[in-house]
């Protein structure tokens, strides 16, 4: 639940930025880069600032989208075609935006999301080699111009990321891909950071958790909380 104090803090910040809308932060990067770890730390820190964000993830975030997630990650679906994968990712996203993200932002609430559309460009575009123009068309259709206010992109060598991810859990359908796939994913993410530097902050993830968290706080403070 949002406290009265956090509502007023959010409203004050939103109105300074000329909108009643909450801020939308996404976390991106390859397997094991530290997204989920840093998301938890970021949410704790935001709560300490009087901001109580909605915390969510992709694919997922609604009942139906979580079922699509399970389908996408299930290694038993190894044969799923790349086009079907792309459409399922955006079907989940449409549900998530309509039922979860957009109402929260409209109500002035901040939203922190573990992966979003950059992951589609990285995995289905870079990894699977699908045409960028197809992804752009679906992005326009599903998002109607909505973009994150800030994307934290955690960059880490493929070998380090996979070593971390494998320590954590059994491989899912994506984690079973070969090294070349993940090198393409990483390169696509790096290209996004260059192309969209006004929105995306690239963070070197090959540091201690605390050092990465400090870089996250600095970025959020500078880009969304007006400096200081």
Where along the sequence are the contacts to ligand ADP (CB under 6 A)? 29, 31-37, 164-165, 167-168, 207-209, 212
Closest CB 98 distance from ligand ADP, rounded Å: 25
Q: Which is nearer to Mg ion, 42 or 138 (CB)?
A: 42
Q: Cα(79)–Cα(72) distance, rounded to whole angstroms?
A: 11
Q: Which is nearer to Mg ion, 2 or 181 (CB)?
A: 181
Binding site partner of 33, from ligand ADP, Mg ion, none, Cβ cut-off 5-8 A by kind:
ligand ADP
Binding site partner of 125, from Mg ion, ligand ADP, none, Cβ cut-off 5-8 A by kind:
none
Binding mask 20-49 vs Mg ion (x if CB under 5 A, - otherwise)? ---------------xx-------------
Angstrom distances, CA of residue 220 to CA of 2, 71, 167, 215: 20, 33, 29, 9
Strand-by-strand arrangement of the 150-155 sheet: 54-57, 111-114, 24-29, 150-155, 200-204
Indicate left, alpha or beta for 114 from its phi (over 0: left) and psi (-120 to 50: alpha).
Answer: beta
Closest CB 177 distance from Mg ion, rounded Å: 16
Structure-block tokens of residue 148: 């994150």
* 168 is a site residue for Mg ion (CB under 5 A): no
For 11, phi then psi, to 5°, come to: -65, -40
Closest CB 189 distance from Mg ion, rounded Å: 15
Closest CB 156 distance from ligand ADP, rounded Å: 8
């Amino acid at each position: 639940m949002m406290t009265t104090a956090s509502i007023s803090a959010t409203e004050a910040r939103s109105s300074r930025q000329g909108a009643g809308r909450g801020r939308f932060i996404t976390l991106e990067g390859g397997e094991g880069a530290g997204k989920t770890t840093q998301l938890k730390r970021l949410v704790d820190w935001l709560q300490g600032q009087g901001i109580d964000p909605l915390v969510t993830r992709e694919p997922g975030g609604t009942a139906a989208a979580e079922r699509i997630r399970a389908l996408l990650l299930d290694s038993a679906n190894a044969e799923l075609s790349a086009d079907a994968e792309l459409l399922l990712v955006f079907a989940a996203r449409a549900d998530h935006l309509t039922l979860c993200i957009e109402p929260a932002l409209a109500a002035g609430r901040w939203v922190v999301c573990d992966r979003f559309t950059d992951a589609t460009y990285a995995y289905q575009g870079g990894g699977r080699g699908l045409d960028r123009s197809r992804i752009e068309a679906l992005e326009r259709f599903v998002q109607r111009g909505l973009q994150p206010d800030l994307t934290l992109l955690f960059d880490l060598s493929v070998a380090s990321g996979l070593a971390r991810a494998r320590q954590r859990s059994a491989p899912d359908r994506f984690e079973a891909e070969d090294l070349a796939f993940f090198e393409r994913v990483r390169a696509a993410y790096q290209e996004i950071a260059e192309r969209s530097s006004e929105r995306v902050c690239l963070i070197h993830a090959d540091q201690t958790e605390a050092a990465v968290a400090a870089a996250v706080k600095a970025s959020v403070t500078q880009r969304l909380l007006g400096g200081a």
